[in-house]
Structure 1
Amino acid sequence: MIRFILRLAAPPAALLFCGMAHGQDIDPDILKAQAGTYLIAPADGGAGCRMTLETDMAIGGYSLSGQEACAKQLSAFAEAAAWNFDGNGGLILIDPMRKVLARFVENEGSPMKTEDGKPLLLIAAPDGVDHLPTVASLAGAWTMQRPDGERLCGVTLDGNVGTDGNAPLSLSGDCAANVAKLKLAVWRIDGFGLTLMGLDGSSLGFDMRADGNFDKSKQEGGKPLSLVRR
């Protein structure tokens, strides 16, 4: 139910390490699964930049492109020359001298993230979006509605995050029955995914759109549903 999550299709770590240490090619299917354009951005909502991981060989790993776009926001990454698997289920970006610029670690159910210093995420992102949403940026009043504008419920997201990483939410008193029965009480964000949760285990997951609103995740099934800021 988590959306826009970068998952590394991982063979045994020993195979990854062997591929790095001796220049052997990684399984082409693994490379294709990992390749693509991703946003590198601070977890605190600061502006980031996009970079494309490619499948051609390069010194120290595999080629990439678009790193010039990082010169303003994340200048160190403008020097990136290649990417590779790190042998432990993670991914590294390196400069022309093979110095590691960043190591992104996979966290189960969450986007890849650096563990040192100011956290950075490596994540697929909607077109035109250069920063991650934060609790503070999403707190406020929203409308849950169908694509044709039919209103189902008013949702207010509180910005006070608890120790469990969740923040409270409240629903309007006129919610449609199929929404009210979920007894939604808390919410959280993970990358570009927003999840509304009930205390009994019920939940609704949404993916952020380029305009900052959210559509229900396709993995949820059922009728289309959106969260639109009021």
Structure 2
Amino acid sequence: MIRIPGLAAASVAFALAVGQPAHAADDELIKAQAGVWLLAPESGAKGCRLTFNTTPATGGYGITGADTCTTPLPALSKASAWNFADDGSLAIMDGAGQTLVRFQQEEGSPWVSESGDPTWLLPALGDVDHVPTVASLAGAWRIQRTDGKAVCDVTLTTDKDSDGTAKMSLASDCAKEIGDLKLSLWAEEGFGLVMLGSDGSSLSFDMKPDGSFQKSDEEEGEPLLLVRK
């Protein structure tokens, strides 16, 4: 599963909800979810930002910024409130409390819309207004240390294996720490990118506002960057 930056706090809050009084757990979960979120089509088209507040509103808690959705996502231009459902989904509603869109989330992954064209709900990342796609990320990249020292050159392609996962290749002179992972496939999900090895190994990266990636915090070892060549 690809880890997405900004989801950890919400996941922890959800876990804490088990066995606690409802009102206390809800308060923690609501506070963890509050903030600025990007809603963007999986296709890579431009999205818009909504700010989730903790102030009560019809149907849940207030939303601001819906006017930014008028052009990219018109259906959300009337967004007025957000809230969680009993099944763990997250709904965005208009001023009358009618649901405009509902999102589901698997642990460690972004929120994804339940119906219609797939849309991500992600913690806003700088000025980024869209999510990357396999096509936009394909090409030559370099894994390097934070001091700029090259570790491994990689090529991400749009070619797919029989399961529909994109293929990748490593340069022949990669550092052992990367070469031993036998990375051959890759996938993107929201602002996350994961490289997959033939023996079950993996290496995950989180996107930065400038479009480069940094090794996910959950990964062991020293920090690494993934940058365009």
Task: Give the superposition deviation at 1:204.
Answer: 1.0
Q: Is the 8 A contact 1:125 1:192 kept in 2?
A: no
Is residue 181–residue 201 contact of structure 2 (8 Å, CA) maintained in 1? yes
- Equivalent in the alignment of 2:201: 202
The residue number in structure 2 matching 1:2 is 3
Which string of whole-angstrom CA distances, capped at 9 and with x for unpartnered residues, describes residues 183-225 of structure 1?
Answer: 1111111111111111111111101111111111111132111
Moved over 3 A (4+): 5-12, 161-165
**How far off is 1:107 after superposition?**
2.6
**Within 1, Cα distance between the matches of 2:101 and 2:24?**
22
Q: What is the distance in 1 between the residues matched to 2:162 and 2:86?
A: 32
Show the counterpart of 1:132: 131
| Aligned-partner SS, 1:32 | helix
Give aligned-pair identity as a percent. 47
Deviation at 1:5, TM superposition (A): 6.0
- Name the CA distance, whole Å, in 1 between partners of 2:65 and 2:25: 23
Q: Which ranges in structure 1 are unaligned for 5 or more consecutive residues?
A: 17-23
What is the SS of the residue equivalent to 1:127?
Answer: coil
Matched residue of 1:148: which SS?
coil
Match of 2:167 in 1: 168
Q: Which residue of 2 aligns with 1:154?
A: 153
Any idea what SS the aligned residue of 1:47 has? coil
2:97 aligned with 1:98, yes or no?
yes
Deviation string 1:162-192 (CA, Å, 9 cap, x unpaired) is: 4545211101111112211111111111111
Trace 1:27-66 onto structure 2 (pairs within 5 A).
Answer: 27-66=26-65
Partner of 2:86: 87
Amino acid paired to 1:3: I
Of residues 37-46 and 64-73 in structure 1, the stretch that sits farther from structure 2 once superposed is 64-73
- Paired position in structure 1 for 2:187: 188
TM-score, normalisation: structure 1: 0.89
Q: SS of 2:158's equivalent?
A: coil
Unaligned runs of 5+ in 2: none
When residues 74 and 163 of structure 1 are mapped into structure 2, their CA distance, relative to the original with a 3 A threshold, is: farther
